[in-house]
Amino acid sequence: MSRDTATAEVAAAPTVAELRRSLAAWRRAGEAVALVPTMGALHAGHLALVARARTQARRVVASIFVNPTQFGPGEDLTRYPRDPTGDRCKLAEAGCDLAFMPTVAEMYPDGFVARIDPGPLAATLEGRFRPGHFAGVATIVAKLLLQALPDVAVFGEKDYQQLLIIRRVARDLDIPVQIEGVPTVRESDGLALSSRNAYLTADERARAPLLHRTLRDVARRHAGGDAAAAGAGTRALLAAGFAKVDYLEVRDAETLDAPHAARPARVLAAAWLGKTRLIDNIALVP
């Protein structure tokens, strides 16, 4: 299980009991633990989370679990990309100590019913288009945090609303963990790395970087006082071949309420290229 054992694949724990056994040994040795929750199909964005985790703790656990309760009916649960062997090789190379890879039955045994309602932050933006999504996220992340009780847990800013909700839930429920956010990793053309980018056709992939470029335009124009910047950005995406824009909005960076000039803001969007839904967000630089 230790980093010293040379293996091509990181050790895997398929059960909570095995996860806790490894963690208990590290705890006894006085080693801090960081957790990186993922749904697998790992890319450089995930590996940046592992790299950050390694700066925070001696031991790093990555979880790989495609959580069914955060997918709505008609969403891409069954075709969500999976690559457990590739994931374990990447994690080993990134210096991760353990992959926690539970089954659905391990996480949701017969009779499972409890659910965490993250409150109003979950109702806006993504929440309007994916009802129940953030309750599913909050519940599974709380479970992972309570299974591992890490010192630190690391999440990407790519899922910015999710990061805010996880911070809120951890604070409200007094989960004793520090939540770390890591900036989005992008392709050289600006496209945010995402496991779902694998769904894009060549033509869609060529158009996809426009999402990030548009967010930057909106941020610059909004910071310059143009209150219509987000609407113009939406029209630009549609004109460039995006099939639909679920939302493109400037929001307060902490509350996701309407932005205030004096406070940090964030530009967030979800837009469709063909059958693929992309999300992205950036800080608004005043």
Q: How far is it, in rounded angstroms, from Cα 244 to Cα 235?
A: 10
Among 36, 94, 101, 142, binds a second copy (CB under 8 A): 142
The neighbouring-strand residues paired with 163 are none
Closest by Cα among 19, 140, 35, 38 to 83: 38
Stretch binding a second copy (CB under 8 A), from 140-148, 194-202, 214-222, 257-265:
140-148
Size of the site for a second copy (CB under 8 A): 27
Q: Annotated catalytic residue: which of 43, 46, 212, 222?
A: 46
CB of 139 to a second copy, least distance (A): 8
Query: Which residue number, 133 or 168, has a Cβ lying nearer to a second copy?
Result: 168
What 3-state class would DSSP assign to 100? strand
Q: How far is it, in rounded angstroms, from Cα 109 to Cα 132?
A: 20
121 binds a second copy (CB under 8 A): yes
174 binds a second copy (CB under 8 A): yes
Residue 282 in tokens:
């950036």
Strand order in the sheet with 276-284: 244-252, 265-273, 276-284
29 binds a second copy (CB under 8 A): no
With residue 33 as reference, give the H or E element that holds it: strand 33-38
Q: How far is it, in rounded angstroms, from Cα 184 to Cα 186?
A: 6
Q: Name residue 190's amino acid.
A: G
Q: Name residue 83's amino acid.
A: D
257 binds a second copy (CB under 8 A): no
CB of 5 to a second copy, least distance (A): 27
Q: What would the x/- binding string for a second copy be over residues 76 to 115, using CB under 8 A?
A: -----------------------------------xxxxx
The dihedrals phi and psi of 252, each to the nearest 5 degrees, come to -55, 135
- Give yes or no for a contact between 141 and 37, defined as CB atoms under 8 angstroms apart: yes
CB of 163 to a second copy, least distance (A): 15
Stretch binding a second copy (CB under 8 A), from 64-72, 134-142, 229-237, 278-286:
134-142
CB of 193 to a second copy, least distance (A): 29
**Is 260 part of the annotated catalytic residue set?**
no
Contact residues: a second copy, CB under 8 A: 16, 20, 111-121, 138-139, 142-143, 146-147, 149, 168-169, 172-176
Catalytic positions = 46
